[in-house]
Amino acid sequence: MKLTYIFKMLTDETRIRILNILKETDLCVCEVQAILEISQTNASKHLNKLKGAGLITDEKKSQWAYYYLNKDFWNNHEHLYQYLNYQWDTNDCYRKDIENLKEYKSKNIICT
């Protein structure tokens, strides 16, 4: 994969926010939508781009596709992952997304 394509995926704030919450757990589109407070169309668009670039992957569970970080990609780009983790840990927006994730998960909401 071309380096420029990887960085192109990281030029969008929503995609970086999605990666941040997916580092914690696997999520379906409706969960990403609810946690980040974005439209389902927007969530789907960004998830598909990240998947196409190989940064994330998905697994079908029943009728839902659950997305998670592609461990092979991130193991091969460990320095990039460490840099992003630092940003996620030190930026208020990303920390708020993790708080939203924890709150959402604590409610045991089931996708419909």
Domain spans in the chain, listed from the N-terminal domain onward: 3-104
- Top-level CATH class of 3-104? mainly alpha
pTM for this model (two decimals): 0.94
Give residue-wise pLDDT tens across range 24-47: 999 999 999 999 999 999 999 999
Compute the distance between CA of residue 32 and CA of residue 23 in angstroms, rounded to an integer: 12
pLDDT at residue 70 in the model: 98
Phi-psi region of 79 (alpha: psi -120 to 50; beta: other; left: phi over 0): alpha
For residue 56, is pLDDT > 90?
yes
Compute the distance between CA of residue 47 and CA of residue 68 in angstroms, rounded to an integer: 10
